[in-house]
């Protein structure tokens, strides 16, 4: 096996990051563990100071106070108060919030409320909006006016349940999401996804997941992207709400037990190495990863064309693969089988052990699987 401290558990893997907010933090965590990171924000956040919809909603609530205000996220609540200060109506907003039943979804939100000099009326122990909904419906909401601080995340059934029970619900759209101004990085990530150049892609919000899939559909790539996510690319999300747009498309996802970035990275540290193919070849232990190979624990970066050949050979280790089949595995290679010989030479050089791959005259190439492993891998 390899040395975690030397290479990191994600060495040789490429991970896509779609987050707009905290992308640098997530990317740093992944790189520290050895991953190559491809960042393409699927969304951008509308600056609060420029958000006319938030300003209009805030003025409406000040003029016609609700009975209940629900604060859902700490950053969203802080941003709302700071934006109101910038507009010169911060004191009026705080006066409003002191006079209503102020509910906080969890401890972080409570901290933001108290930092603003306010006190919440109640907060669920579970940090669950389902528990907030149960409390409101248990109290009775018929005829009550409820303001809900939104933060870009969908809340399935929450608003509908309140309205069906007779409440008037006013949304406060803090941090609205928009498509990215520069769509090129997202398009590149979609192309790399289709080409199986990603080992995993991460989502930290449902709007980002929806935007990623919507852009794939707009480009006519949705079937290919869905196939990649269903079969080859680990789709990791930070929590259950984030998964909704993905699950609606039939994509299985993985998530950490704790809905935080650190546990998300730790999950990938367990998942990706477990998926790598490890083979005994020509007296060496070879572990095949996304863009690199571990040969007896030594990390060997391999060019994309070489990885395409190696993955093709590894599908049937020990068996001869024809040049024609290998040519088909090379992206954009055309019909010249000389491209296979060139890519194979570079692959052998990158591996640092030329005997790992044998040339079978007039037939093709094969991984030199150790004889003791032939039976185990004959039907792979």
Same domain, 35 and 63: no
- Host H or E run for residue 69: strand 68-71
Distance CA(121)–CA(123), nearest Å, equals 7
Provide the mean pLDDT of the chain. Answer: 89
For residue 141 the two structure tokens come to: 């909401």
Same domain, 15 and 159: no
pLDDT at residue 203, rounded to an integer: 94
Mean pLDDT in residue range 330-340: 75
Q: Is 340 within 8 Å of 357 (Cβ atoms)?
A: no
Q: Count how many residues are written for the chain.
A: 380
Measured from the Cβ of residue 156, the count of other Cβ atoms closer than 10 Å reads 14
Same domain, 287 and 348: yes
Same domain, 202 and 314: no
Same domain, 169 and 25: no
Pairing, β 145-150 against β 101-104: unpaired
Crossing angle (nearest 10°) for helices 52-63 and 74-86: 80
Q: What percent of the chain shows pLDDT beyond 70?
A: 94
Same domain, 245 and 353: no
Name the strands in the sheet holding 145-150, side by side, starting at the edge strand that comes first in the sequence. 101-104, 68-71, 145-150, 168-173
Residue-range definition of the domain harbouring residue 349: 277-377
Dihedrals phi, psi of 38, to nearest 5 degrees: -110, 115
Q: What predicted TM-score, i.e. pTM, was given to this entire model?
A: 0.74
pLDDT at residue 5, rounded to an integer: 47
pLDDT at residue 1, rounded to an integer: 38
Domain end position, chosen among 246, 275, 304 = 275
Same domain, 252 and 309: no
Quick check: 114 pLDDT over 70?
yes
Domain end position, chosen among 108, 142, 175 = 175
Dihedrals phi, psi of 333, to nearest 5 degrees: -90, -15
pLDDT at residue 135, rounded to an integer: 95
Mean pLDDT in residue range 280-291: 91
Same domain, 85 and 135: yes
For residue 200 the two structure tokens come to: 């995993």
Bridge partners of 45, per DSSP, are: 177
Q: How confident is the model at residue 3 (pLDDT cuts 50, 70, 90)?
A: very low
Q: How confident is the model at residue 373 (pLDDT cuts 50, 70, 90)?
A: low
Measured from the Cβ of residue 80, the count of other Cβ atoms closer than 10 Å reads 27
Domain end position, chosen among 117, 152, 175 = 175
Mean pLDDT in residue range 253-275: 92
Count of structural domains within the chain = 3
Measured from the Cβ of residue 160, the count of other Cβ atoms closer than 10 Å reads 11
Mean pLDDT in residue range 320-332: 87
Quick check: 7 pLDDT over 60?
yes
For residue 363 the two structure tokens come to: 């037939």
Torsion of CA 329, 313, 363, 374, to 10 degrees: -160
pLDDT at residue 2, rounded to an integer: 39
Same domain, 112 and 226: no
For 65, 139, 243, the CA distances from 143, given in Å and listed in that order, are 14, 12, 34
The model's pLDDT over 161-212, given as tens digits with 9 standing for 90+, comes to 999 999 999 999 887 778 899 999 999 999 999 988 899 999 998 889 999 9
pLDDT at residue 346, rounded to an integer: 93
For 73, 77, 129, 321, 327, the CA distances from 155, given in Å and listed in that order, are 13, 17, 8, 51, 49
Handedness of CA 239, 212, 289, 328 (dihedral sign): positive
**DSSP class of residue 279?**
E
The model's pLDDT over 216-257, given as tens digits with 9 standing for 90+, comes to 999 999 999 999 999 999 999 988 878 889 999 999 999 998
Pick from 189, 185, 215: nearest CA to 202? 189
Same domain, 263 and 286: no
Q: How confident is the model at residue 15 (pLDDT cuts 50, 70, 90)?
A: very high
pLDDT at residue 45, rounded to an integer: 80
Pick from 258, 259, 254: nearest CA to 270? 254
Distance CA(210)–CA(205), nearest Å, equals 9
Same domain, 185 and 140: no
The model's pLDDT over 47-106, given as tens digits with 9 standing for 90+, comes to 777 788 899 999 999 999 999 999 998 888 999 999 999 999 999 999 999 999 999 998
CATH number, residue 146: 3.40.50.10090
Same domain, 259 and 285: no
CATH number, residue 310: 1.10.10.10
């Amino acid at each position: 096996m390899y040395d975690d401290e030397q290479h990191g558990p994600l060495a040789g893997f490429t991970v896509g990051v779609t987050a707009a907010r905290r992308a640098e933090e997530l990317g740093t965590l992944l790189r520290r563990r050895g991953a190559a990171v491809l960042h393409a924000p699927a969304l951008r956040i509308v600056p609060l100071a420029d958000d006319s919809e938030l300003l209009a909603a805030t003025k409406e609530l000040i003029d016609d106070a609700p009975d209940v205000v629900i604060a859902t996220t700490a950053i969203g609540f802080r941003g709302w108060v700071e934006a109101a200060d910038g507009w010169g109506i911060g004191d009026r907003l705080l006066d409003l919030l002191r006079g209503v039943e102020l509910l906080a979804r969890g401890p972080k939100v409570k901290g933001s409320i108290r930092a603003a000099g306010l006190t919440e009326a109640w907060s669920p122990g579970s940090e669950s909006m389902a528990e907030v909904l149960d409390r409101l419906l248990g109290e009775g909401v018929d005829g009550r006016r409820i303001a809900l601080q939104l933060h870009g995340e969908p809340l399935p059934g929450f608003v509908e349940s309140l309205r069906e029970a007779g409440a008037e619900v006013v949304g406060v759209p803090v941090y609205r999401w928009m498509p990215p101004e520069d769509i090129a990085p997202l398009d590149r990530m979609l192309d790399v996804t289709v080409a199986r150049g990603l080992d995993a892609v991460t989502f930290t919000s449902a709007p980002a997941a929806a935007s990623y899939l919507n852009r794939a559909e707009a480009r006519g790539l949705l079937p290919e992207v869905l196939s990649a996510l269903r079969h080859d690319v680990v789709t990791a999300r930070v929590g259950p709400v984030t998964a909704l747009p993905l699950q609606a498309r039939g994509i299985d996802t993985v998530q950490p037990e704790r809905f935080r970035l650190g546990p998300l990275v730790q999950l990938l540290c367990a998942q990706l190495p477990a998926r790598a193919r490890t083979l005994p070849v020509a007296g060496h232990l070879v572990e095949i990863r996304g863009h690199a190979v571990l040969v007896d624990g030594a990390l060997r970066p391999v060019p994309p064309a070489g990885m395409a050949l190696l993955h093709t050979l590894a599908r049937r280790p020990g068996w001869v693969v024809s040049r024609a089949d290998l040519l088909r595995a090379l992206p954009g290679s055309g019909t010249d089988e000389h491209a296979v010989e060139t890519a194979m030479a570079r692959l052998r050089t990158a591996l640092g052990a030329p005997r790992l791959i044998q040339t079978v005259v007039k037939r093709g190439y094969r991984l030199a699987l150790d004889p003791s492993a032939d039976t185990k891998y004959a039907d792979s």
